[in-house]
Amino acid sequence: MREVLGGVFCLFLAFGAVAAQAQDALLKPFVLASRGPGDMVQAVESAKAKLTQNGFVIAGTHSPYPNATVIAVTSEELRAAAARSELGGFGAAQRVAVTKVREEVQVSYTNPTYMAHAYRMAGDLKGVTAKLQAALGRIEEYGSSGHYPEQLRRYHYMIGMEYFDEPSLLASHGSHDDAVKAVEAGLAAGRQGMTKVYRVDLPGKKEVLLGVAMKGDGDEGKFRDDRHIMSVIDFKDVKSTAHLPYEMLVSDNKVYALYARFRIAINFPDLSMMGENSFMRIKPAPEAIRKALLKTAGGKED
């Protein structure tokens, strides 16, 4: 009898765990707000107006290649949430994309709740998610088969690849101000093809997030080039343009970037390892990106 009761109790616990996880919906990295015929320029201006009307601040705008524009946005709520967790500054901006695919204009944005868990932030940013939806609309989430919040908070693509809390340390400077100045100078000079898209300062904390556009030419440079990388991995009918731009985070006197095997994978978690459109096709990209950002930040290789 004791063994039977023990088995029943174990089953009860197992069903309870499944039920608890079921209360959390599967999350996907992007939200498709709208799609249909339209003018690209008008769609960008309309998105900006709707975002500002709903309390967002336009931090910067970036056109990484033709027929694609990314609008980086932040808000008081978003910055405050980002400031409450270690390296939370990586989540201080959300990205809205307007992409023309043949005759269709797609408006999409990063899913703040997905990013909050992926970046181990305090809270789930559901309020920010609701405000983006109110501003731009929501057809569906997309970009992966989906992950539960707890899966995202411990996510890595596969064994041996980086977690969120294993970013690249690009540079260390004498002070926070020195670090910010060094990064700003490197971006202003276009060092390694890196230029600034936006800057977001976190309240009450020595932490600054900088969005970075990346360009590179030739066989060597293409693996740090936004357009080349996206031409390989963003191949589906609904585009994931809001993956861009990349970021550098100045936290106190240190400069960090999420390593590409995490930063790309968290937005393209279903991308295969092998094949025509796969991680293997951009295998040199993680190190190419890291080295370019390191030089831009004024860092030196060990």
Residues β-bridged to residue 95: 72
pLDDT score recorded for residue 16? 42
Summarize the confidence of residues 56-77 as an average pLDDT: 98
The pLDDT of residue 69 is above 50: yes
The pLDDT of residue 3 is above 60: no
Mean pLDDT of the chain, nearest integer: 93
Q: pLDDT-based confidence at 24, cuts 50/70/90?
A: low
* Among candidate residues 152, 158, 163, 164, the one with its CA nearest the CA of residue 26: 152
pLDDT score recorded for residue 198? 98
Summarize the confidence of residues 109-124 as an average pLDDT: 98
Residue 142: what are its φ and ψ, rounded to 5°?
-155, 175
Rounded distance, CA 27 to CA 11, Å?
27
* Among candidate residues 120, 150, 191, the one with its CA nearest the CA of residue 21: 150
The pLDDT of residue 8 is above 60: no
Chain length of the chain? 302
Grouping H, G, I as helix, E, B as strand and the rest as coil, residue 110 is: strand
pLDDT score recorded for residue 220? 85
Chain-centre distance for alpha carbon 182:
23
The more confidently predicted of residues 9 and 119 is: 119
Distances (CA, A) of 136 to 31, 191, 258, 299: 10, 35, 28, 40
pLDDT score recorded for residue 7? 46
- Whole-number percent of the chain with pLDDT over 90: 91
User: Do 122 and 88 touch, CB atoms closer than 8 A?
Assistant: yes
Helix ranges restricted to H, the chain: 2-22, 40-53, 76-83, 112-118, 126-136, 149-153, 176-188, 218-221, 226-233, 260-263, 285-296
* Ordered domains of the chain (ranges, CATH): 26-296 (3.30.310.70)
Write the pLDDT tens digit of every residue in 175-226: 999 999 999 999 999 999 999 999 999 999 999 999 999 999 998 899 999 9
The more confidently predicted of residues 23 and 136 is: 136
Write the pLDDT tens digit of every residue in 145-183: 999 999 999 999 999 999 999 999 999 999 999 999 999
Rounded distance, CA 112 to CA 296, Å?
28
pLDDT score recorded for residue 20? 41
- Whole-number percent of the chain with pLDDT over 70: 92
State which amino acid sits at residue 230. M
Kindly state the tokens that stand for 50.
Answer: 């709707």
Residue 301, CB half-sphere, CA atoms under 13 Å: how many? Answer: 4
Cα angle value 278/240/166 (rounded, 5°): 65
The pLDDT of residue 128 is above 70: yes
Neighbour-count burial of 146, counting CB atoms closer than 10 A to its CB (0-12 exposed, 13-18 middle, 19+ buried): middle
Rounded distance, CA 73 to CA 301, Å?
33
Write the pLDDT tens digit of every residue in 223-282: 999 999 999 999 999 999 999 999 999 999 999 999 999 999 999 999 999 999 999 999
Rounded distance, CA 90 to CA 163, Å?
14
pTM of the model: 0.91
Rounded distance, CA 183 to CA 24, Å?
39
Q: Name the one residue in this structure whose structure tokens are 């585009």.
A: 239
pLDDT score recorded for residue 301? 85
